[in-house]
Structure 1
Amino acid sequence: MKIVAVEAIPFAVPYRKPLRFASGEVHTAEHVLVRVHTGDGIVGVAEAPPRPYTYGETQTSIRAVIDTLFAPGIIGLSVFERERIHAVLDRTVANPTAKAALDMACWDAIGRALGTGVSELLGGWTDRMRVSHMVGFAPDDVMVAEALRMRDEHGVRTFKVKVGRRPVSLDTGACRALRTALGDDVELYVDGNRGWTASEATRALDEMADLGLTLSEELMPADQVLGRRRLTAHTRVPTVADESVTRPGEVTRELLDGAATMISIKTARTGFTGSQRVLHLCEGLGAEVVMGNQIDGQIGTVCTVAFGAAHRSSSARAGELSNYLDMVDDLLTEPLRITGGELCVPTGPGLGIEIDPDKLARYRTDL
């Protein structure tokens, strides 16, 4: 099971509409397919979705760091030697998405070799998760129409509303419109992508106090240390750290500093190995988690649901698993389907998915 080759293949799939939020917007999923080949002929796959405005990574940088640093360091190691693989990856600062994809591709290869699903290897708690859908910046009526469509067509009853605009009333008004249209039996929470100041975030949550919001995620930048503490102490809405917790040490800092009460876990950022470390740390500190989304395609969404469903605490809340629906196509032979507001973990060894070679040939950008 020694690694004999690593591929980092760039591909681009357009979105049906631009996805807009406080830290930027995306029009095309310019991602990287990572494939880890073993001497036994097994190929593990994963997806790296770069987010330059969040982590500083681009499609070009992910390919470069994998091709020039990571691949030469892990070729010759066994996919089972995960600690040794991470020792190689950890010598390089940052690059979380590139590292995560390599980690998950190795897990996929391990599962395929053992004939066992990755989700079972990770914990095997359940075989599905409830789905949360992200609603991005748009006029109120457009946001409402999207949420109603997701509820009616897919049974989704949990919605993450992107906020962080100025004036604050743009977003408080949108949330109020969504609550009015969807009723009280639908869960709403907000994500600011670091868009507000502490005073703006406090004002917004006060204005929305009657809307029954269940979470407030990353409303301000991580370096507004005192402001984050004040907001967390001020509000009854749990505060979720996301972009500020890219590794376990940052999770510890945010929770012990009182800057957040919950943590968003993203497999696109911490892989399976790092995500388990984050999850177990949160469990030890008594903090809840939510499974987040890095605007993943279907491959990345499979990774999220596989991890989230594997553990009792990560499957307790709806996971952010629907944004692949905004892409006009994807690379899988069998597309994912959300029914009754749930997404099931694909069956089969490893991640339980296969790449369609014709689709990969159509969307890859390096040929």
Structure 2
Amino acid sequence: MKITAIETIPYSIPYLKPLRFASGEVRSAEHVLVQVHTDEGLVGVADAPPRPFTYGETQQSVIGVIEKIFAPQLTGLDVFAREQVHARLHRTVGNPAAKSAVDMALWDIAGQALSQPVTQLLGGYTDRMRVSHMLGFDAPERMAEEAERIRDTYGITTFKVKVGRRPITLDLDVCRALRETLGDEAELYVDGNRGWTASESAVALRALEPVGITLAEELCPADDVLGRRWLVRQSTVPFVADESATTPAEVTRSLLDGAATAISVKTARTGFTQSQRVLFQCEGMGAEVVMGNQIDGQLGTVCTVAFGAAYAAASRRAGELSNFLDMSDDLLTEPVTIADGTLAVRDLPGLGVAIDSDKLTRYRQDR
């Protein structure tokens, strides 16, 4: 089965409220829907969420690199020739969301062709994951109210708290308010998006010990090599590398250099094929993984849970699977549903999704 065309469709869906964090702010999902067409009529889909403040990609750059470089290189290749596909993709530097969307769309086609869910092709460990919800910057009382609402509505009891503001007391007060509101049964962990210095992060970690956080992610820049290493050595919880470890090589360096003790895996950044390599590296080196969220819509969430549920190591912790709840609408004909704090994988061939053509027409930006 041969690739005949790769289609890119930019779209924009507003958020109900902006998601704010130390490195940026998102008010709408300005993503690119990627559709890979084949000579047997099967079409694979995936979502590319550009994050210019983290990876430098934009809607225009995703469309440009796929249409001008990737599509001409991949057209005519066999869908199952995965190593050939990736060899050609990696001739081009960067562009992680664009590459990942192409990869996941090809896995979607493979699942459809074999009448198997992608999660079964990947590993098939379990049929669902526990869900973690990400809380963006706001006043302590409003963040606590949101967490309480999410817990009561969806049964979610794990929360990732965005930190990295100055003064650090703003975020310390948030974490204390969340613990007071949610009680001891809730799991809390923090993500600084590189907003603090190493010394500020060390102060914050000591102050958060009574709160009982379980992970600390990217509190300070990894480029601050000595400071980051000094901070990670004294951390009493796993220290997660996310945007500082975006390739298998960066993951290896982060773990060996002492810049992290755990890794965030994001299918929007490493697709399914590269995410496998990152996960297996972490298992071999004894590092925990967390299934992260690139502020995904429902299609991206389906991809994340398909990968995370496929492996014991990836499903051990709650995955960041709920931030599509902040979007005002979505493109899938069958919405993603969170119940009792978990999200089930779809027991359908491929990714098991269909795009609502009317909604795509409403939100697309190229017409």
Superposition TM-score, scaled by structure 1 size: 1.00
Q: Secondary structure at the match of 1:313?
A: helix
Please give the alpha-carbon distance, in whole angstroms, between the structure 1 residues aligned to 2:299 and 2:196.
32
Aligned residues: 367
| Identity over aligned pairs, percent | 67
C-alpha distance in 1, partners of 2:49/2:272? 15
Distance 1:141 1:78 in 2: 54
How far is the alpha carbon of 1:347 from its aligned partner? Answer: 1.8
How far 1:346 sits from its partner (Å)?
Answer: 1.3
Map of 1:318-329 to 2, 5 A cutoff?
318-329=318-329
In structure 1, the residue matched to 2:162 is 162
Partner of 2:88: 88
Q: How many Å separate the matches in 2 of 1:226 and 1:241?
A: 15
> 1:243 corresponds to which residue?
243
Give SS of 1:236's match: coil
Gaps of 5+ in 2: none
- 1:289-328 alignment to 2 at 5 Å? 289-328=289-328
Q: Secondary structure at the match of 1:268?
A: helix
Deviations 1:284-325 (A, max 9, x none): 101110000000000000000000000010000000000001
Deviation readout 1:319-351 (Å, 9 max, x if unpaired): 000000100000000000100000001121000
Partner-residue secondary structure (3-state), 2:271: helix
- Equivalent-residue separation in structure 2 for 1:179 and 1:90 (angstroms): 44
Per-residue CA distance 1:159-193 (angstroms, 9 max, x = gap): 00000000000001100000011001100000000
In structure 1, what residue type is equivalent to 2:36?
V
CA distance in 1, matches of 2:82, 2:11: 27
Partner in structure 1 of residue 78 of structure 2: 78
Residues in 2 aligned to 1:325 and 1:149: alpha-carbon distance in whole angstroms: 12
Distance in 1 between residues matched to 2:101 and 2:54, nearest whole Å: 17
Per the alignment, residue 44 of structure 1 pairs with 44
In 2, Cα distance between equivalents of 1:266 and 1:7: 23
Superposed CA deviations along residues 20-67 of structure 1, whole A, max 9, x for unmatched, are 000000111000000000000000000000000000000110000000
Q: What CA RMSD, in Å, does the superposition of the two structures yield over aligned residues? A: 0.5
AA at the equivalent of 1:350: G
Which one-letter code corresponds to 2:222 in the other structure? A
CA distance in 1, matches of 2:228, 2:306: 32
Verify: 1:209 aligned to 2:238, yes or no: no
Letter in 2 for 1:334: E
Partner of 2:32: 32
| Cα deviation 1:109-163 (Å, max 9, x = unaligned) | 1101111000000000001000000010001111001000110000000000000
TM-fit CA distance, 1:228: 1.1
TM-score (norm: length of structure 2): 1.00
Q: Which residue of 2 aligns with 1:233?
A: 233
Runs of 4+ residues over 4 Å off in structure 1: none
Kindly provide the CA deviation profile for residues 228-276 of structure 1, in whole angstroms up to 9, marking residues without a partner as x.
Answer: 1111111201100000111000000000111110000000000000000
Greater shift, 118-127 or 220-229, is seen at 220-229
Matched residue, 1:104: 104
